[in-house]
Amino acid sequence: MSFRFVQITDHHLMATEATLSRGYSPAHALRCVLRHIAAHHGDVDFLVSTGDLVERGIDAEYATLRAMLGLREYSAAPGPQRATGEGLRDMPCYFLPGNHDPRAAFFRNMFPWSVEGVGEAPAMNAAFVHKGVQFVCVDWGAANKAASTPAMLEHLRRSLATGMPSIVLSHHNVTPVGVPRLDALAADDVAGFAAVLGGGTVLAILAGHTHMTYEARLAGVPVLGLRSTHFSFAQSGEEWVYALRPPQYRVVTVDGPRLSSDIVEVAL
Whole-number Å distance between alpha carbons of 53 and 11: 5
* pLDDT tens-place string over residues 124-138: 999 999 999 999 999
Asked if residue 117 has pLDDT above 70, the reply is no
For every residue of 161-202, DSSP letters joined together read TT---EEEEESS-SS--S-HHHHTTS-TTHHHHHHHHTTS-E
* pLDDT tens-place string over residues 90-99: 999 999 999 9
Centre a 10 Å sphere on the Cβ of residue 234 and count the other Cβ atoms it contains. 16
Domain extents for the chain? Answer: 2-265
**CATH superfamily, region 2-265:** Metallo-dependent phosphatases (3.60.21.10)
For residue 190, which amino acid is it? V
Its pTM stands at 0.96
